[in-house]
Each structure stands twice: as structure tokens, then as C-alpha cells.
Structure 1
């Protein structure tokens, strides 16, 4: 025997679609993936070219994809990474700037907050600490700051963190050796030239077009939200009116019920019965009074009646 099990609310539509109870939308009706704010990305890229953060500069390769950057971090003086050049890949996805862009070191580096694959663990990169006000320039500045002072609360390289806490001289020796072994090759930054002007103009045009599309999408979402709010208020008003009408009907029913119990307009037969009972009571009272009076006076009263 087959038993129906109701799935979770979020899985219900997919579950019914698999059972062919719900039509699958056409591919051209599927929502487009989110797109980053290309205008902001282009402005941040120009800032990197013109006013880069300390110890940071553009990569050796020209930027052919606005959503994929290469940045070079020069090892800060006074650290085991001095003299090294560390290329960093930055990927910008559709949820930027709502979420942080992933970044990885392309060469090996010995650091408590960087693992063997080059992934960087920073407090600014965590979802709870990231905000749309953060920029890629601030992100690069944070990476340079941890090269000075590693974050030892949540290390991603346990060996380097243990060595940093217990034997910092040995840690600096290993980090310096890794720097000269993997990151001692000089890297010359590529800066835009006149040959890149068509591509830059194209990026600027695309950024403006996408920004306009995003503004239109935001306006569409705002209108949809306003429409849904109006529908919600209308539905709430209709429910309020229905409840008020139901309460009024209930009150009228109660009034009708109380009228039949003697507090309102009573039926005719009840009123006739009450009058008859009152008349009998008055007659009995007169008989008693006449019986108590002297016979001569009682006879006189009866003659008057």
C-alpha cells in the first residue's frame, strides 16, 4: 500500500513537479542568474590602477574579464614575506557586493590564515562581518594587515599557527624560506595603455548598460513589492469587514433570541394569558376584601358596582 508523505514546504513544488503535478516552466521563462554591479566593479578596477592600496598593484596580465582580476601583493618590509611578490586571483560573482568575492594566492605562502591551496581566511571575509559597504581595496588592505599580524583565533593552517605561538623564530625562518622558494620571481604590473582604450570603453559601456538594467530591475522589484503590499492590505481589509459582518450578524441573532424570552416584544398569546392572570388576581382580591367588610357595607359596595 502506498502512503502519501507530505514533503517540507520548500520541497513541495519540486516534489510535485517530479510527479508531473506541476508544469515545469519553459527554459526561456527561467530567471536569469544575478549579475554584479558592473559599474561599481569598473570603478573599483580603475581605483586599483590609479590609487592601489599599500603593497598592492595590478597583476602582470591585462584584465580581459571585468569579473576576474589578478592583483600582486608585495611582501611588506619587516615581515618574513619581504622581497616576495604574491599574485592573488579575485573572482567576482553575481552576488557581489552582497557577498565577499573569493580570493586565492597563486603561489605557496606559509601563513596561519592561508592554507595550502591559497585560500585566505579573514574575519572581514565571513558573512556576518561582510557588508556591501566593503570594497575590494579594503579586502586587499586586510590581507596585507594579516601578513603583519596573523589572526590566531581561527587559524586555517594549524601547523603555522602552532609554530607562530610557540617558536616565532622558527616560524619566521620557515616563512622566509617559502617566500624565497616560491615567490621570489619579480612580477611587472600591466597598466592600461592606449591600446586598451577600446576594451575600456567597451567595459564602461557594458557597465553603464548593466547598471541601467539593474536600476530597472530594482524599480520592477519595488513596484512588485508595492503591488503585493496593496494586495495584502486589501485582503486584510476584506477579512476585517467579514469579521465585522459576522459579529454584527451574531449580535442580531442574540437580540432576536432575547426578544422571545420575555425581554422584548412578546407574542400575543403570552400577553393575553398575563392579562387573564391579572384579572383573576384582582377578582380574588375583591372577594377577599368584601368578605372582610361588614355585610351592610359590602352590600352597599356591590350595589355601586
Structure 2
């Protein structure tokens, strides 16, 4: 369990990130806590303009270690993405500030902003996904087309469908909060959300 001092810092970080978003809904990143657990967050990143990810909304799973901020948060993409530094299978991220370049002076918001910057400027020479990196180097046009297709398919879920999905789960007897949390956690996949609610995962 994080110490009182670390908990206080996390609460402040969460307030700051949400206040910035409340002031400016065009803010590129935001985050929220999952199940009132201060060490489990979901981050949200808007795909940067001018990149193949433009218009996409990406959900990031954030696990905060008990010795935070002395160690970096563990982050991975819940939303599928085609990018040299992010695994197209698992969502694992290759980014130096989430590893050896982390400093206690950084915040989760800084890390999310760095991820957004990574979407604009992939580092194909230090890949997480070799297949994507090879395509990026060999055939940039095909890479851009594929990345755009993945953005359209996985990162541009229609918001109006979200309300429908919540409604369906509420009709099955779950609360609106339970439904929303499960859907967000599983990238708005109704089947996976329902399975997790039934299985209590």
C-alpha cells in the first residue's frame, strides 16, 4: 500500500489532471481512478493532429507501484494501436521515461503527454513491435494507411453507442456505474465487459 505521503501526491495529481481537463475539454490527456483505487487509473489520450492517430481516443491502463514516485507507473494501451513503439498484441509500450529515464519529478500527466508525443514521432530504431517498425521503415505509406485503419476501427468508437452499451448492461441488472466502469476497462467491448461483471473480474 502506498504511504500517506504518496497517496496525498497521487490525489493531488489526479485532481490536477482532472481540473486541467475541466478547464479545457480539448486537453490532450486526462485520467480517472478505477473502483476508488488510487493505484489503478485509466488514462485517456487524444490522437495527435496531423498523425495517423488523429481523431482517435486511446485508453491507457495505469498501475501505480507502492513506491511511486520513485518508480515509474506501469502503463499499457488498452486500445489497439498500430505503432512501432507499442505492441499491436499486448499494448506494451517502449518509452524511456516509463523505464530508466523516469524521475520522481515527473508526473503521470507528464508520462501521458510523452505518450501522446510518441504517437506523433515514432522511434522505429527502438521498437516494441518489430513487425510495425519494419513496415514503418520499408513502406511508410502502407504504415500510415494501416495505422489510420486501426485508428478508425479501434480508437473511434462512436460515443452514441456508448450510451446504448451502458443501457444494455443496466437492463441486465447492473448499476450505471458498474456498467460504465466495466465498459471503459474493456474498451467498450460489451461481451468482455459483461464477462468481467459476471465473473467479478
Separation in 2 of the partners of 1:104 and 1:120? 6
Task: State which of 48, 54, 61 in structure 2 corresponds to 1:82.
Answer: 54
Do the aligned partners of residues 165 and 143 (structure 1) sit closer, same or farther apart at CA in structure 2, a change above 3 Å counting?
same
CA contact (8 A) 2:75 2:93 kept: yes
- Detail structure 1 runs of 4+ shifted over 2 Å in the superposition: 33-36
Q: Looking at secondary structure, tell me which structure has more strand per residue.
A: 2
Query: Could you tell me whether the CA contact under 8 Å between 2:29 and 2:109 is conserved in 1?
Result: no
Gaps of 5+ in 2: 161-201
TM-score, normalising length from structure 2? 0.70
1:99 and 2:71 correspond? yes
Q: Is the 8 A contact 2:14 2:31 kept in 1?
A: no
Quote the residue 2:174 is aligned against: none
Residue 30 of structure 2 aligns with which residue?
57
Q: 1:94–1:130: structure 2 CA closer, same or farther, 3 Å change rule?
A: same
Q: Within 1, Cα distance between the matches of 2:159 and 2:31? A: 10
Contact 1:85/1:187 (<8 A) preserved: no
| Aligned counterpart, 2:81 | 109
| Structure 1 unmatched ranges of 5 or more | 1-32, 189-305
Deviation, structure 1 residue 57 = 2.4
Q: Which has the larger radius of gyration?
A: 1
Change (3 A) 1:97 1:62: closer
User: 2: distance between equivalents of 1:74 and 1:130?
Assistant: 23
Distance 1:132 1:69 in 2: 18
Describe the SS at the equivalent of 2:134: helix
Q: Any residues of structure 2 matched to 1:248-259 within 5 Å, and which?
A: none
Q: Is the 8 A contact 1:84 1:183 kept in 2?
A: yes
